[in-house]
Amino acid sequence: MKNKFKIGDFVKVKNGIKDPDYDFIFTDDSQGEITEIDGTLLTIEFDNKTVADFDLDYLIQIIKDGAEGNEICLEASDVELTSERDWTDQEEQIANVRLYWIWRFEDNLKEYLNYFSEVDVDNEYEIYYTWINYLNEKLQFPLETEVVESDSGGLRFGEKVKLLDIEEEVDEKYGVLGIGKAQKGAITCPICNLEVIDKKSKSYQPLKDYCIWFANR
């Protein structure tokens, strides 16, 4: 049976409809735009208000399982036509931050969602400088690290670096730079190439998380 919808229509999920793959029940406040139609199956891109209001654990789960985060497939019988609606700047910021960070992290995710909640995810330099603030709070210098990625400064894989501090300015290509000592003496190098040797150190995960972000930015 042909459905009454077309691509570009705005729809809302009927109250009480359950996600077919998860134990999650929608409310009729879940709204968005149809982006694809396959028979009676609709792909819906949810609006910013919906993403901002979604249960966070549900949003994390569907993104970790491969969803875009703001899209879902539902039967045409599960939705009804509505009009495009507005959302506040705050709702848009919450939605953007959620979609940006959930895709990158699982461990410590809620901490990053909170710490970067006011940061414009489209402004990479703003993210960098927030990372600098975060790392200055979390890293306990001096740190014994080793090179785990190739380094433009000539450091060898596996070479030990005593990290003493991080620069307050960002390199356009290599991101946050660290100040330290290596076999050849005092150095400045990208911290994205370093890993804390003591995995039980409180500094281990913050530096590793920055490296994960840098690799996926």
* Chain segment 12-69, per-residue pLDDT in tens: 999 999 987 888 889 888 999 999 999 999 999 999 999 999 999 999 988 888 777 7
Confidence of residue 137 (pLDDT cuts 50, 70, 90): very high
Contact present, 67 and 21 (Cβ < 8 Å): no
pLDDT at 210: 97
CA distances for 61 relative to 66, 102, 133, 175, angstroms? 9, 9, 29, 30
Interatomic CA distance for residues 124 and 175, integer angstroms? 10
- Give the CA diameter of the chain: 74
What is the chain's mean pLDDT, rounded?
92
Place of tokens 């190439």: 193
* Chain segment 178-194, per-residue pLDDT in tens: 999 998 899 999 999 99
Q: Is the dihedral of CA 11, 14, 15, 18 positive or negative?
A: negative
**Domains in the chain with CATH codes:** 10-81 (no CATH), 126-208 (2.30.30)
Query: Which tokens hold the place of 12?
Result: 């809302």
Q: Helix and strand tally (H, E) in the chain?
A: 6, 10
Query: Which tokens hold the place of 151?
Result: 């380094």
Q: Which residue has the higher pLDDT, 106 or 171?
A: 171
